[in-house]
Amino acid sequence: GENVEQHPSTLSVQEGDSAVIKCTYSDSASNYFPWYKQELGKGPQLIIDIRSNVGEKKDQRIAVTLNKTAKHFSLHITETQPEDSAVYFCAAQYSSASKIIFGSGTRLSIRP
Amino acid sequence: DTAVSQTPKYLVTQMGNDKSIKCEQNLGHDTMYWYKQDSKKFLKIMFSYNNKELIINETVPNRFSPKSPDKAHLNLHINSLELGDSAVYFCASSPGPGIGSPLHFGNGTRLTVT
């Protein structure tokens, strides 16, 4: 069935260090993988996305990698800052149904 | 201007009551959604409409009834509210229903059923 697993559920890193969040998906037909950031009291906001014909995408301090063979994709945040503290969600869009399925979220805390 | 706006932001009500949540988007998108976020932050799709037509209907109790009067509005009506309905409900929109169409979320409606 449609499933996206996300790890870790919580992550605490020192300011300036890197953070990595990993996800796996179950449907090999998935071909769109967005990442969302949710701050307290707000809705999730798209921060970066990647399509299945690309292995890596970078936007300033944020990068996403995709391994279609292993059905893994990861979010990398470098030089973390206090404002990076939030809950991050990976997601996958299943072409059979066009719906976006979310992972269970990672609460990222940046220690000063 | 808020792109996706939902009202009310907070909703506290008793079991058995009927309530509605309204959503409007000014992005000119064709597709709108309702997602439910439980206390563990898990986001689950409930419904999706494309140009006022229902295209996704997940396994949701039929006490939940979405209505889309036009493509800029998607409301959610809930009958006979239960304790388990307590959650944050998010409205979202996207340019279309196809692959690679990113979601734009509202700021949520926190529903508390007592």
Q: Cα separation of A76 and A91, whole Å?
A: 15
Tell me the CA end-to-end span of chain B in Å, nearest whole number: 33
Helix, strand, coil share (%) of chain A residues, nearest 5 = 5, 60, 40
H or E segment to which residue A46 belongs:
strand A45-51
How large is the average pLDDT for residues B19-34? 96
Q: B1 falls in which pLDDT band (50, 70, 90)?
A: low
pLDDT tens digits for chain A (112 residues)? 678 999 999 999 999 999 999 999 988 778 899 999 999 999 999 999 999 888 999 999 999 999 999 999 999 999 999 999 999 999 999 776 678 999 999 999 999 9
CB contact under 8 A, A43 and B44: no
Question: In Å, how far is B88's CA from the nearest CA of chain A?
Answer: 10
Residue A72: both structure tokens together? 């893994």
Q: Average pLDDT of chain B?
A: 94
Contact A56, A73 (CB under 8 A): no
Q: Which of A43, A104, A107 sits opposite B106 (nearest CB)?
A: A43
pLDDT in tens, B31-55: 999 999 999 999 999 999 998 899 8
Running DSSP on this structure, what letter comes out for residue B30? S
